[in-house]
Amino acid sequence: MDNLKIYVLLIFSVFVSSCISTTDLIYLQQGKSTSNVVVTPLNQNPYRLQANDIITVTIKAIDPKLVEIFNSSTAQSGGMLNEQSAYYTGYSIDDHGNIRMPILGEINVLGYTVDEVRIQIEKLLLNKFFKAEAGIYVVVKLSGFRYTINGEVAATGTKTLFQDKVNIMEAIANSGDITITGDRKAVKVIRRFPSGNETFTIDLTDANAVNSPCYYLQPNDYILVNPLKQKTWGTGKTGLESLTTIITILSLATTTFLLLRN
Protein backbone atom coordinates (compact mmCIF):
# COMPACT_ATOMS: atom_id res chain seq x y z
CA MET A 1 0.00 0.00 0.00
CA ASP A 2 2.85 2.36 0.85
CA ASN A 3 4.47 1.63 -2.51
CA LEU A 4 1.22 2.47 -4.27
CA LYS A 5 1.06 5.84 -2.50
CA ILE A 6 4.63 6.56 -3.50
CA TYR A 7 3.90 5.73 -7.16
CA VAL A 8 0.76 7.91 -7.16
CA LEU A 9 2.65 10.80 -5.57
CA LEU A 10 5.49 10.41 -8.07
CA ILE A 11 3.11 10.38 -11.02
CA PHE A 12 1.27 13.43 -9.70
CA SER A 13 4.54 15.33 -9.19
CA VAL A 14 5.75 14.59 -12.71
CA PHE A 15 2.33 15.47 -14.14
CA VAL A 16 2.20 18.86 -12.39
CA SER A 17 5.83 19.86 -12.96
CA SER A 18 5.86 18.95 -16.64
CA CYS A 19 2.78 20.95 -17.62
CA ILE A 20 3.25 24.53 -18.86
CA SER A 21 1.19 26.97 -16.80
CA THR A 22 -1.04 29.56 -18.46
CA THR A 23 0.87 32.24 -16.54
CA ASP A 24 3.87 31.31 -18.68
CA LEU A 25 1.88 31.78 -21.89
CA ILE A 26 -0.26 34.92 -21.48
CA TYR A 27 1.28 38.20 -22.65
CA LEU A 28 1.26 41.47 -20.68
CA GLN A 29 -0.54 40.25 -17.57
CA GLN A 30 -1.80 42.83 -15.09
CA GLY A 31 0.11 42.47 -11.81
CA LYS A 32 -0.02 44.26 -8.49
CA SER A 33 2.82 46.54 -9.54
CA THR A 34 1.10 47.63 -12.73
CA SER A 35 -0.08 51.22 -12.80
CA ASN A 36 -2.92 52.57 -14.92
CA VAL A 37 -1.19 55.94 -15.22
CA VAL A 38 -0.24 56.77 -18.80
CA VAL A 39 3.54 56.76 -19.05
CA THR A 40 5.64 58.25 -21.82
CA PRO A 41 8.39 55.67 -22.16
CA LEU A 42 11.99 56.74 -22.54
CA ASN A 43 12.65 53.90 -24.98
CA GLN A 44 11.50 55.62 -28.17
CA ASN A 45 14.63 57.64 -28.83
CA PRO A 46 15.23 58.21 -32.57
CA TYR A 47 17.52 55.67 -34.17
CA ARG A 48 20.98 56.94 -35.08
CA LEU A 49 22.46 55.59 -38.27
CA GLN A 50 25.33 53.12 -38.17
CA ALA A 51 27.74 51.62 -40.66
CA ASN A 52 26.18 49.17 -43.15
CA ASP A 53 22.70 50.69 -42.79
CA ILE A 54 20.94 51.45 -46.08
CA ILE A 55 18.90 54.61 -46.50
CA THR A 56 16.78 55.93 -49.33
CA VAL A 57 16.88 59.59 -50.32
CA THR A 58 14.13 61.09 -52.48
CA ILE A 59 14.43 64.70 -53.66
CA LYS A 60 11.43 66.54 -55.10
CA ALA A 61 10.91 70.01 -56.56
CA ILE A 62 8.23 72.05 -58.28
CA ASP A 63 9.88 71.10 -61.58
CA PRO A 64 10.74 67.38 -61.26
CA LYS A 65 13.30 67.59 -64.09
CA LEU A 66 15.52 69.83 -61.96
CA VAL A 67 16.19 67.04 -59.45
CA GLU A 68 16.17 63.94 -61.68
CA ILE A 69 19.92 63.49 -61.44
CA PHE A 70 19.80 63.35 -57.62
CA ASN A 71 17.26 60.53 -57.48
CA SER A 72 17.59 56.78 -57.98
CA SER A 73 15.74 55.03 -60.80
CA THR A 74 13.18 53.69 -58.30
CA ALA A 75 12.36 57.18 -57.03
CA GLN A 76 12.15 58.61 -60.55
CA SER A 77 9.74 55.95 -61.74
CA GLY A 78 7.63 56.07 -58.60
CA GLY A 79 8.14 52.34 -58.19
CA MET A 80 7.35 50.51 -54.97
CA LEU A 81 10.30 50.03 -52.66
CA ASN A 82 11.14 46.50 -51.58
CA GLU A 83 14.10 44.97 -49.82
CA GLN A 84 15.86 44.01 -53.04
CA SER A 85 15.39 47.35 -54.81
CA ALA A 86 16.50 49.19 -51.66
CA TYR A 87 19.72 47.19 -51.63
CA TYR A 88 20.56 48.16 -55.23
CA THR A 89 19.24 51.73 -55.35
CA GLY A 90 19.60 52.89 -51.73
CA TYR A 91 22.65 54.48 -50.19
CA SER A 92 24.76 52.14 -48.07
CA ILE A 93 26.68 53.72 -45.19
CA ASP A 94 30.33 52.72 -45.44
CA ASP A 95 32.74 51.97 -42.59
CA HIS A 96 33.63 55.67 -42.35
CA GLY A 97 29.97 56.64 -41.96
CA ASN A 98 29.60 58.18 -45.43
CA ILE A 99 27.10 57.84 -48.25
CA ARG A 100 27.96 58.86 -51.81
CA MET A 101 25.31 60.77 -53.76
CA PRO A 102 25.30 62.08 -57.35
CA ILE A 103 26.65 65.64 -57.59
CA LEU A 104 26.63 66.09 -53.81
CA GLY A 105 29.46 63.61 -53.35
CA GLU A 106 30.24 62.04 -49.98
CA ILE A 107 28.10 63.00 -47.00
CA ASN A 108 28.84 61.81 -43.48
CA VAL A 109 25.69 60.50 -41.80
CA LEU A 110 27.12 58.29 -39.04
CA GLY A 111 25.32 58.89 -35.74
CA TYR A 112 22.67 61.12 -37.32
CA THR A 113 18.93 60.52 -37.30
CA VAL A 114 17.14 60.35 -40.65
CA ASP A 115 15.59 63.78 -39.94
CA GLU A 116 19.03 65.27 -39.33
CA VAL A 117 20.27 63.78 -42.61
CA ARG A 118 17.26 65.25 -44.41
CA ILE A 119 18.03 68.72 -43.04
CA GLN A 120 21.70 68.33 -43.98
CA ILE A 121 20.89 67.40 -47.59
CA GLU A 122 18.31 70.19 -47.93
CA LYS A 123 20.90 72.75 -46.79
CA LEU A 124 23.47 71.44 -49.27
CA LEU A 125 20.99 71.67 -52.15
CA LEU A 126 19.81 75.16 -51.26
CA ASN A 127 23.30 76.50 -50.61
CA LYS A 128 24.91 75.15 -53.79
CA PHE A 129 22.31 74.40 -56.46
CA PHE A 130 18.83 75.81 -55.89
CA LYS A 131 16.97 78.83 -54.63
CA ALA A 132 14.08 78.62 -52.18
CA GLU A 133 11.64 79.20 -55.07
CA ALA A 134 12.53 75.77 -56.49
CA GLY A 135 10.45 74.18 -53.73
CA ILE A 136 13.02 71.56 -52.76
CA TYR A 137 11.53 68.75 -50.69
CA VAL A 138 13.70 65.91 -49.33
CA VAL A 139 12.57 62.59 -47.85
CA VAL A 140 15.09 60.33 -46.07
CA LYS A 141 14.13 56.92 -44.74
CA LEU A 142 15.71 53.70 -43.63
CA SER A 143 15.21 51.07 -46.32
CA GLY A 144 12.99 48.99 -44.08
CA PHE A 145 13.15 48.06 -40.40
CA ARG A 146 15.35 44.95 -40.21
CA TYR A 147 15.60 42.61 -37.23
CA THR A 148 16.61 39.01 -36.67
CA ILE A 149 14.70 36.55 -34.47
CA ASN A 150 15.78 33.09 -33.43
CA GLY A 151 14.85 30.32 -31.03
CA GLU A 152 11.35 29.20 -30.03
CA VAL A 153 9.28 31.07 -32.64
CA ALA A 154 7.29 29.75 -35.56
CA ALA A 155 9.40 31.45 -38.25
CA THR A 156 13.01 32.35 -37.47
CA GLY A 157 15.29 34.49 -39.60
CA THR A 158 15.92 38.08 -40.62
CA LYS A 159 12.72 40.06 -41.16
CA THR A 160 12.04 43.47 -42.72
CA LEU A 161 9.03 45.62 -41.89
CA PHE A 162 8.37 48.79 -43.87
CA GLN A 163 7.45 51.07 -40.99
CA ASP A 164 9.31 53.59 -38.85
CA LYS A 165 8.76 52.04 -35.41
CA VAL A 166 8.43 48.40 -34.40
CA ASN A 167 7.84 47.03 -30.91
CA ILE A 168 8.84 43.55 -29.82
CA MET A 169 5.23 42.30 -29.80
CA GLU A 170 4.84 43.26 -33.46
CA ALA A 171 8.15 41.62 -34.33
CA ILE A 172 7.12 38.37 -32.62
CA ALA A 173 3.69 38.42 -34.25
CA ASN A 174 5.37 38.94 -37.63
CA SER A 175 7.41 35.80 -36.91
CA GLY A 176 4.39 33.61 -36.22
CA ASP A 177 4.39 34.03 -32.40
CA ILE A 178 6.42 32.27 -29.72
CA THR A 179 5.82 28.53 -29.55
CA ILE A 180 4.21 26.97 -26.48
CA THR A 181 7.66 25.84 -25.31
CA GLY A 182 9.20 29.31 -25.62
CA ASP A 183 10.21 31.25 -22.50
CA ARG A 184 8.19 34.47 -22.65
CA LYS A 185 9.52 35.58 -19.26
CA ALA A 186 13.14 36.00 -20.36
CA VAL A 187 13.28 37.09 -24.00
CA LYS A 188 16.73 38.39 -24.96
CA VAL A 189 17.31 41.42 -27.17
CA ILE A 190 20.87 41.98 -28.36
CA ARG A 191 21.38 45.55 -29.57
CA ARG A 192 24.30 46.95 -31.51
CA PHE A 193 25.89 50.22 -30.42
CA PRO A 194 29.00 51.97 -31.79
CA SER A 195 30.78 50.97 -28.58
CA GLY A 196 29.71 47.31 -28.83
CA ASN A 197 26.73 45.02 -28.23
CA GLU A 198 24.41 45.18 -25.24
CA THR A 199 21.98 42.45 -24.13
CA PHE A 200 18.57 43.24 -22.62
CA THR A 201 16.09 40.84 -21.02
CA ILE A 202 12.34 41.45 -21.12
CA ASP A 203 9.45 39.60 -19.46
CA LEU A 204 6.62 39.65 -22.00
CA THR A 205 4.14 38.16 -19.50
CA ASP A 206 4.35 41.35 -17.42
CA ALA A 207 2.28 44.38 -18.44
CA ASN A 208 5.16 46.62 -17.35
CA ALA A 209 7.19 45.26 -20.26
CA VAL A 210 5.96 48.22 -22.32
CA ASN A 211 8.27 50.44 -20.27
CA SER A 212 11.36 48.33 -20.93
CA PRO A 213 14.18 49.98 -22.92
CA CYS A 214 13.97 47.11 -25.41
CA TYR A 215 10.17 47.02 -25.85
CA TYR A 216 10.56 49.31 -28.85
CA LEU A 217 13.15 47.74 -31.09
CA GLN A 218 16.01 49.43 -32.89
CA PRO A 219 16.93 48.44 -36.45
CA ASN A 220 19.28 45.42 -36.58
CA ASP A 221 18.21 44.12 -33.14
CA TYR A 222 18.63 40.37 -32.54
CA ILE A 223 15.81 38.67 -30.60
CA LEU A 224 16.41 35.31 -28.92
CA VAL A 225 13.65 33.20 -27.36
CA ASN A 226 15.06 30.33 -25.31
CA PRO A 227 13.07 27.13 -24.59
CA LEU A 228 11.33 26.35 -21.32
CA LYS A 229 12.76 23.53 -19.22
CA GLN A 230 9.67 21.42 -20.04
CA LYS A 231 10.91 21.06 -23.61
CA THR A 232 14.18 19.47 -22.52
CA TRP A 233 12.34 17.10 -20.17
CA GLY A 234 10.31 15.76 -23.08
CA THR A 235 7.34 14.87 -20.86
CA GLY A 236 4.77 16.90 -22.76
CA LYS A 237 3.65 20.48 -23.19
CA THR A 238 0.07 20.03 -21.94
CA GLY A 239 -1.60 17.96 -19.26
CA LEU A 240 -2.88 15.46 -21.82
CA GLU A 241 0.56 15.02 -23.37
CA SER A 242 2.14 14.59 -19.95
CA LEU A 243 -0.48 12.02 -18.93
CA THR A 244 0.06 10.11 -22.17
CA THR A 245 3.82 10.09 -21.56
CA ILE A 246 3.37 8.84 -17.98
CA ILE A 247 0.95 6.08 -19.05
CA THR A 248 3.39 4.99 -21.76
CA ILE A 249 6.27 4.83 -19.27
CA LEU A 250 4.18 2.89 -16.72
CA SER A 251 2.98 0.47 -19.39
CA LEU A 252 6.56 -0.13 -20.52
CA ALA A 253 7.73 -0.61 -16.92
CA THR A 254 4.88 -3.02 -16.15
CA THR A 255 5.50 -5.05 -19.30
CA THR A 256 9.23 -5.24 -18.55
CA PHE A 257 8.54 -6.32 -14.95
CA LEU A 258 6.12 -9.08 -16.02
CA LEU A 259 8.54 -10.37 -18.66
CA LEU A 260 11.41 -10.49 -16.18
CA ARG A 261 9.24 -12.13 -13.55
CA ASN A 262 8.22 -14.92 -15.90
- In DSSP terms, 137 is beta-bridged to 60
Average pLDDT over residues 173-182: 94
Mean pLDDT of the chain: 81
Asked whether residue 9 carries a pLDDT value surpassing 80, the answer given is no
Average pLDDT over residues 81-109: 87
Where would I find the H helices in the chain? 2-18, 73-77, 83-89, 114-128, 168-174, 229-233, 239-261
Average pLDDT over residues 20-35: 73
Query: How far apart are the C-alpha atoms of 55 and 188, rounded to whole Å?
Result: 27
pTM higher than 0.85: no
- Express as a percent the part of the chain with pLDDT over 90: 53
Average pLDDT over residues 89-101: 93
pLDDT in tens, 180-209: 999 999 999 999 887 889 999 999 999 999
pLDDT in tens, 40-56: 454 577 899 999 999 99
Residue environment code for 135-173, b if the CB has 16+ CB neighbours within 10 A, otherwise e? ebebebbbbbbbbbbebbbeebeebebeeeebbbeebbe
Asked whether residue 238 carries a pLDDT value surpassing 80, the answer given is no
- The pLDDT value given to residue 234: 57
**Closest residue by Cα to residue 66 from 137, 116, 168, 17:** 137
Query: What domains appear along the chain, each with residue ranges and CATH number?
Result: 22-45+144-227 (3.10.560.10), 54-142 (3.30.1950.10)
